[in-house]
Structure 1
Amino acid sequence: MARRDFSAARLPGFATIAITVFVALYAPILMLVAYSFNAGDSIAIWEGFSLKWYPVAWNNAEVREVTLRSLTIAATASVLSTTVATMAALGTTRRRQTRGQTFIYLLINQPLMVPEIVTAVALLIFFASIKVATGYQGLGYLIAAHTAFCIPFAYLPIRARLEGMDLTLEIAAGDLYASSWQTFRHVTLPLLAPGIGAGMMLAFVTSLDDVVITLFVKSAGQDTLPTYMLAQIRRSVSAEVNAISTLLLLLTVLLLTAFFLLTRKRD
């Protein structure tokens, strides 16, 4: 008899468990999207199909303001965090392995392991002392906080890309008398570009969706789109929030799809 390789998909009840998990994960999201097209004000009673909540959300000046602020913070934080993450990835992969290398990885990835509320409280205390000393209350604090939090998210795909790159071309460039900068600019950077793009998109999504750190660090009048939506839900739940959530979900899905396409392995 031919030997059959083990496969978890053949275990009894595997299909049932898989379907249950997918339903639990995506049924609430699908309901949210469906009720964003509800003609009535209720978020629980279907009153017919309508697109009216999307123009309502678009014509809301406060929604436009917080959306622009969110995009500004996310774009700036993603560029800064990706730049720092790229330098960190180069420093930890393009060097001889030394004692304490694991500890360096631990320090870089620390925000991923520590509960976000702990990071938020630490940033609140740190920035509060700066605010008292300088009197500055601008968006710089939010950008700095999001940048610090997003660095490990950008670092992971960049480091993975570097570890998968063959050193042959970089060594050949050195043998042809290229300087370190020329090798980086003409060889390493073009090969690393997909990883940098993926890291930047992941950092952008992380910053755009963040609530906890933003709530602790922001000053008055600095709501982002997620914190604005949270405040609206606390007051009264409106189908307008469903429309905003659906658009935010669509943007996130598009960016994560691009992230997947950039990081997938090609034959």
Structure 2
Amino acid sequence: MKRLGRIGYLMLIYLFLYFPMAILIIFSFNNSQYSLTWKGFTLNWYRTLLADGVLLRVAVNSLLVAVSSATLATAIGTMAAVSLYRYRFFGRQLLYALIYVIIMSPEIVMGISLLILFVAIRLPLGFWTLLLSHTTFCIPFVVVTVLSRLSGFDRAIVEAAKDLGASEFQTFRQIILPLLMPAVLAGWLLSFTLSMDDVIISFFVTGPGFEVLPLRIFSLVRLGVKPEINALCAILFGLTLVFISLSQILQKEKQ
């Protein structure tokens, strides 16, 4: 009975979390533009969505920023994690703490601080400010992901490679990186998802000539929730679910 009670409790929690999203997905196929009553199944809203040239351009912008920032964050975060793990230096624990401070800081604080920085250095708001901002807030997530893999790493393997005459670069490329690859890929997928979903930081650091998908959705919702928005959100939810699932699979493989 206790087991059934726990299962029922978990089911209620997941129902509370995912029921609104399920309603959104269901009504993205509803053959009615204004009513929440079911009028029949249709794919018209998805066709309308794919025929919207402006929306497709904005989607391409988001993909460009997400792929670029995830790649940069993964490269920088992986090198930072390896350095924090392998080397002992003054201020190392402080750097550990700063990584978690960035993760736990409100996005609005980071967005405003980045905006002030870009204005101070007179960098025009647009693609580059968006790329730098997304890379900045994704790096700590990559560092934490890679460090979790390194925590179970056997240092004796590296020492054996050095004894056999391997250089630092050879040791990293042939031994450390292959062992870290599942965590590196998981960090990239997580960074991509965070970048694609971000609204608050993007709102502060993007310019009028460069729009991304989350901000486009936000501006459309202010005029009312249309079926096309339901369809777009359903697609984004599906993509997010796929990337998070892949990230979790890679996390399990690395363990």
Answer whether TM exceeds 0.5 for this pair. yes
The 5-angstrom pairing of residues 202-217 of structure 1 reads 202-217=190-205
Question: Match for residue 71 of structure 2?
Answer: 79
- Residue 203 to residue 155, structure 1, CA distance change in 2 (3 Å): same
Aligned pairs (5 A) from 1:56-75: 56-75=48-67
Q: Deviations over 1:8-45 (max 9, x none)?
A: x9379534432221111010011111111111113622
Cα deviation per residue 1:207-238 (whole Å; 9 max; x = unaligned)? 11000000011111322111100100101221
Cα separation, 2, equivalents of 1:249 and 1:162: 31
Distance, in Å, in 2 between the alignment partners of 1:179 and 1:237 is: 59
The residue type paired with residue 81 of structure 2 is A
Size of the aligned set, in residue pairs, is: 255
For 1:197, which of 178, 185, 196 is the aligned residue? 185
Confirm or deny that 1:120 pairs with 2:111: yes
**Corresponding residue number in structure 2 for 1:238:** 226
For residue 175 of structure 2, what is the aligned residue in structure 1?
Answer: 187
Letter of the structure 1 residue corresponding to residue 152 of structure 2: G
1:14 alignment counterpart = 6
Contact 2:183–2:254 (Cα < 8 Å) also in 1: no
Which whole-Å deviations, capped at 9, do the CAs of 1:113-145 have from their partners, x for residues lacking one? 1111111111111112223xx5x3431000001
Letter in 2 for 1:264: K
Deviation of 1:240 (Å):
0.2
Tell me the distance in 1 between the aligned counterparts of 2:183 and 2:254.
14
In the alignment, structure 2 segments of 5+ residues that lack a partner are: none
The 3 A distance-change label for structure 1 pair 108 and 266 is closer
Asked whether the equivalents of residues 124 and 217 of structure 1 are also in contact (C-alpha less than 8 Å), the reply is yes
The CA deviation at 1:200 is 0.7
Q: How far apart are the structure 2 equivalents of 1:255 and 1:116?
A: 22
CA distance in 2, matches of 1:121, 1:244: 28
Residues 1:130 and 2:121 are matched in the alignment? yes
Shift of 1:99: 6.3
Gaps in structure 1 of 5+ consecutive residues: 1-8
Tell me what 1:255 maps to.
Answer: 243
Distance (whole Å) between structure 2 residues aligned to residue 77 and residue 123 of structure 1: 15
Does residue 52 (structure 1) correspond to residue 44 (structure 2)? The answer is yes
Report if the CA contact (8 A) 2:193-2:240 is conserved. yes
Post-superposition offset of 1:84: 1.2
Map of 1:104 onto structure 2: 95
Residue in 2 that maps onto 1:94 = 86
Match of 1:218 among 206, 226, 229: 206
1:235 match: secondary structure: coil
Which residue in the other structure is 2:16 paired with? 24
CA distance, structure 2, for counterparts of residue 87 and residue 138 of structure 1: 27
Aligned counterparts of 1:60 and 1:45: Cα–Cα separation in 2: 26
1:264 alignment partner, SS class? helix
Partners of 1:184 and 1:83 in 2: how far apart? 13
Q: In structure 1, what is the Cα distance between the partners aligned to 2:245 and 2:156?
A: 31
Alignment match, 1:6: none
Structure 1: which amino acid aligns with 2:45?
A: W
For residue 152 of structure 1, what is the aligned residue in structure 2? 140
Identity %: 36
Q: Is the contact made by 1:43 and 1:238 (CA closer than 8 Å) also made in structure 2?
A: no
Other-structure match for 2:131: 143
